[in-house]
Amino acid sequence: MKLTFNDFVRIMMYPIIVFIIHLVIAPIGLYEKYVWIDIPMHFLGGASIALSAMAMGKIMLKNKMLGKTNLFILFVFVVSVVSLVAVFWEFFEFSIDILSNSNLQIGLEDTLGDLFMGILGGSISFWAFYPKALL
């Protein structure tokens, strides 16, 4: 598959935007001041990864690397990608906690809530944008 720079930008732009927002609000202490801000950030993170997976699917369709597929299979694929990235993000938070003696992962309830919000964001994003993303 020939991936052009524009394809790369199309695939990565939403997660990069969410990550930049994170890099802006984390150092100024907004996660500590407004504890609830973590919830929409995980939702947006899941939505951005879903949009990236759909953009990759569109590029693969365009390059004839992917044929027409069942909508349910496509949904399962996108949610699986979102779930995998959400789990790795939680591993990242755990690693930061261990290395810097911080408390990003407040506990099991917080981690499970983060995973749920990411998957919910990805699922809603899929159903809201899949016709446009894949046409």
pLDDT per residue of the chain (135 residues) written in tens, 0 to 9: 678 899 899 999 999 999 999 999 999 999 889 989 999 999 999 999 999 999 988 888 888 877 777 888 889 999 999 999 999 999 998 898 889 887 777 788 989 999 999 999 999 999 998 866 555
Cβ-based neighbour number of residue 60 at 10 Å: 13
| Amino acid identity for residue 21 in this structure | I
| Residue span of the structural domain in which 50 resides | 5-134
Q: Find where tokens 């939505």 sit.
A: 47
Contact (Cβ atoms closer than 8 angstroms) between residue 28 and residue 104: no
d(CA 129, CA 118): 16
Q: For residue 24, how far is the Cα from the chain centroid?
A: 18
Total domains, the chain: 1
